[in-house]
Amino acid sequence: MQIFMRMIKWTNGTVTTPDQTLLPLKEVTLEIKTVEQMAEAIKNLRIRGAPLLGAAAAFGIALGAYTSKAQTISELLRDLHAAGETIKQQRPTAVNLFWATDRILNIAKTYKDLSVEELRTAVLAEAQKIADEDAAQNYAIGKNGAELITDDDTILTHCNAGELATVEYGTALGVIRHAWTQGKKIKVIADETRPLLQGARLTVFELQRDGIPVTLITDNMAGYAMSKGLINKVIVGADRIVQDAVFNKIGTYSVAILAHTHNIPFYVAAPKNTFDLKHKTTDITIEERTPNEVTHIGNQQTAPNSTKVLNPAFDATPLKYVTGIITETGIYTKEHFQKFNPTFPL
């Protein structure tokens, strides 16, 4: 049974989406009515996952349009720009916040001849389009990626690149879901994904709900599981793909190195709007989050008071460890990586 089909919806000036910080124990729907509420939801990971962040950014600007008191087009454009700046400041690493914000603002700028009300409608229509496109892309990623999956595969995934991280269906979990619906007898191993446990809380929740066999491990068990032959493919999502690397949830890099050492294919599933090929690893800011996420598990303190903490939310996996990137138009491999970056060895 599908509980969440469309992860984010707009109804009469209100954006609704599940509060992902409360899952899997509580299923609460957030009602977001202002840009500031959207910003708070993004910052605190109530809404999370790169593709869903893109749709959230777009609907956030639509909220800016509908809550604006602007009387003229130039006043409304100014308010949309301010909404975009607020949204972009919330999380630096996933490209989707920036990509979706810029797409909406660039379109809005070309609509100078519309009335204020018509521009509001056009901004909302573009946000809706971004959401619809994301859903369609994920089904295509699922279909393309499922060709790589065979009967009896056990697939490791890290973090949550599922329905909850997208508008519909998921990217890495979309591939798994598609293979499962084709009748392939597959199993999943989910890394719990400290510090915020997106794997344990969200990936296991989604897969259990769909009846796909899933086993949870702590992050430090992946090497053991690979060395025992318990894993034969890895599929993860991505927050940003640059010329030389894939940015994804912290810990992805370690999984990729382990997979490489054990000769296990390591795939990334992501829509093409996650590519940011103007940039390379050193250009990208990795979000550093509050120390509390490391010194505590939920509300339970697990480290001494005043512990010094490092808490990067993402890491960069060099493309040399990536077997392929599954997109909505096909699977990118080493030949493509060389086009992103001519120094990439074939």
Q: Which residues bind ligand MRU (CB under 6 A)?
A: 45, 48-51, 94, 159, 161, 165-166, 171, 198, 237-239, 248-249, 313
Instruction: Give the integer Cα–Cα distance in Å for 194 and 25.
Output: 18
User: Are 28 and 22 a contacting pair, CB within 8 Å?
Assistant: yes
Look up residue 245 and give its amino acid. A
Instruction: State the nearest-atom distance from the C-beta of 170 to ligand MRU, in Å.
Output: 6
Query: By C-beta, is 48 or 260 nearer to ligand MRU?
Result: 48
Instruction: State the nearest-atom distance from the C-beta of 171 to ligand MRU, in Å.
Output: 4
**Residue in 239, 244, 276, 315 annotated catalytic:** 239
Query: By C-beta, is 44 or 150 nearer to ligand MRU?
Result: 44
For 8-40, give the DSSP string.
-EEETTEEEEE-TTTTTT---EEEE-SHHHHHH
User: Are 205 and 241 a contacting pair, CB within 8 Å?
Assistant: no
Instruction: State the nearest-atom distance from the C-beta of 159 to ligand MRU, in Å.
Output: 4
Query: By C-beta, is 76 or 141 nearer to ligand MRU?
Result: 141
Query: By C-beta, is 231 or 236 nearer to ligand MRU?
Result: 236
Report helix angle 116-146 to 172-181, nearest 10. Answer: 60
Query: By C-beta, is 52 or 119 nearer to ligand MRU?
Result: 52
From the CA atom positions of the chain, what is the Rg in Å?
Answer: 20
Burial-class residue 37 by CB neighbours within 10 Å (0-12, 13-18, 19+).
Answer: middle
Instruction: State the nearest-atom distance from the C-beta of 239 to ligand MRU, in Å.
Output: 5
Query: By C-beta, is 119 or 169 nearer to ligand MRU?
Result: 169
Instruction: State the nearest-atom distance from the C-beta of 284 to ligand MRU, in Å.
Output: 13
User: Are 212 and 180 a contacting pair, CB within 8 Å?
Assistant: yes
User: Are 160 and 191 a contacting pair, CB within 8 Å?
Assistant: no
Instruction: State the nearest-atom distance from the C-beta of 166 to ligand MRU, in Å.
Output: 5
Report helix angle 35-43 to 73-88, nearest 10. Answer: 20
Q: How many CB atoms lie within 10 A of CB 152?
A: 10
Look up residue 220 and give its amino acid. N
- Whether 19 is a known active-site residue: answer no
User: Are 137 and 129 a contacting pair, CB within 8 Å?
Assistant: no
User: Are 234 and 156 a contacting pair, CB within 8 Å?
Assistant: yes
Instruction: Give the integer Cα–Cα distance in Å for 242 and 16.
Output: 32
Sequence length of the chain is 346
Instruction: State the nearest-atom distance from the C-beta of 92 to ligand MRU, in Å.
Output: 12
Q: Which residue lies nearest ligand MRU, judged by its C-beta?
A: 237
* 3-class SS of residue 120: helix
Query: By C-beta, is 169 or 340 nearer to ligand MRU?
Result: 169
Catalytic residues: 239
